[in-house]
């Protein structure tokens, strides 16, 4: 990317988990203008139906486009699984980057002597057609332990990643992976890297955790190569309709220099069409 280019990239998640993806984007593209929307008031997505997740994803996409985003990163596994196809159909002129559990690289790197591959994810992600197809393509004949984690995202959003209730839930979900002898664990939700050390403690220090955030950032960089530079300087801006203090704590833990959090509207902004996009960008 041209050193002087500063594309504007919008990132959204159901809450603070997508900050792990935002951090990967910031490391790879420090001159980019990054906009982050945390939909914490409507979290968790992982226990909602497809229509709910699609509607919230539309709201967040419209908001980020109205702020000047030229490319949208869906930093939520559940929203990618249930909504990204609809977003691409509604805004064919916009580039979208999604995230999905790193099942393919986990299985590709697995040796015969290794234990099973564990997958921690939301119920909606594991039940989605997108995930089932991914597993069918790459998991045939391989030992895979799927573990849904209901309530874990909600606990992170409500109490924080290090709260006793959050860690108690996590240990319960990790127990089947430890008992199965998993040597690789796929983090199938962007909130879960916030619990990386606790997951290692619960499954075993030797376990390898797979987080696709860096791969998402690399794909976003490739798609941003020919985007025009924005007039605004490189910056990190964040909006939330949840607790700003939690977002700031997690941002600091991710080494993100976010100094303040703006209020994210809960309602539906005016629809953004191709003509509007030309004016915004």
* Three-state secondary structure readout of 211-270: CCHHHHHHHHHHHHCCCCCCCCCCEEEEEECCCHHHHHHHHHHCCCCCCCCEECCCCCCC
Rounded Cα distance between 211 and 103, Å, is 10
Q: Which residues contact 275 (CB under 8 A, 6 or more apart)?
A: none
Active site residue 76: yes
Catalytic residue among 149, 174, 182, 189: 189
Q: Which residues contact 36 (CB under 8 A, 6 or more apart)?
A: 10, 11, 12, 18, 19, 22, 236, 237, 238, 239, 258
DSSP 27: H
Domains and CATH numbers, the chain: 8-99+213-280 (3.40.50.1860), 103-210 (3.40.50.1860)
Active site residue 189: yes
Catalytic residue among 76, 174, 182, 254: 76
Rounded Cα distance between 202 and 141, Å, is 26
The per-residue pLDDT for 113 is 65
The per-residue pLDDT for 237 is 95
pLDDT in tens, the chain (281 residues): 444 557 899 999 999 999 999 999 999 999 899 999 999 999 999 989 999 999 999 999 999 999 999 999 999 999 999 999 999 999 999 999 999 999 988 888 777 668 899 999 999 999 999 999 988 888 666 789 999 999 999 999 999 999 999 999 999 999 999 999 999 999 999 999 999 999 999 999 889 999 999 999 999 999 998 887 766 667 899 999 999 999 999 999 999 999 899 999 876 544 433 333 333 32
The per-residue pLDDT for 102 is 92
Phi-psi region of 68 (alpha: psi -120 to 50; beta: other; left: phi over 0): left
Contact 107, 210 (CB under 8 A): no
Contact 101, 131 (CB under 8 A): yes
Q: Which residues contact 7 (CB under 8 A, 6 or more apart)?
A: 1, 29, 32, 33, 70, 71, 224, 227, 228, 229, 230
The per-residue pLDDT for 5 is 53
């Amino acid at each position: 990317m041209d050193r002087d280019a500063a594309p504007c990239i919008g990132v959204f998640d159901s809450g603070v988990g997508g900050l792990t993806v935002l951090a990967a984007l910031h490391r790879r593209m420090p001159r980019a203008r990054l906009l982050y929307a945390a939909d914490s008031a409507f979290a968790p997505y992982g226990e909602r139906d497809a229509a709910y997740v699609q509607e919230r994803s539309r709201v967040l996409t419209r908001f980020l486009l109205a702020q000047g985003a030229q490319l949208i990163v869906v930093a939520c596994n559940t929203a990618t699984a249930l909504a990204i196809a609809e977003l691409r159909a509604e805004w064919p002129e916009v580039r979208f980057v999604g995230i999905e559990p790193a099942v393919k690289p986990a299985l590709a790197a697995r040796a015969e002597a290794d234990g099973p591959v564990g997958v921690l994810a939301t119920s909606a992600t594991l039940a989605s057609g997108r995930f089932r197809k991914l597993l069918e393509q790459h998991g045939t004949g391989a030992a895979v332990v799927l573990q849904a984690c209901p309530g874990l995202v909600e606990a992170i959003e409500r109490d924080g990643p290090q709260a006793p209730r959050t860690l108690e839930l996590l240990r319960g979900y990790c127990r089947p992976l430890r008992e199965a002898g998993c040597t690789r664990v796929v983090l199938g939700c962007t909130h879960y890297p916030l619990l990386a050390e606790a997951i290692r403690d619960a499954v075993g220090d030797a376990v390898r955790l797979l987080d696709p955030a860096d791969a998402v950032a690399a794909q976003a960089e490739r798609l941003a190569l020919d985007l025009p530079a924005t007039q605004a300087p490189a910056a990190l801006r964040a909006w939330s309709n949840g607790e700003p203090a939690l977002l700031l704590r997690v941002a600091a833990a991710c080494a993100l220099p976010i100094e303040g959090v703006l209020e994210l509207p809960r309602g539906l902004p005016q629809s953004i069409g191709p003509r509007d996009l030309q004016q915004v960008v």
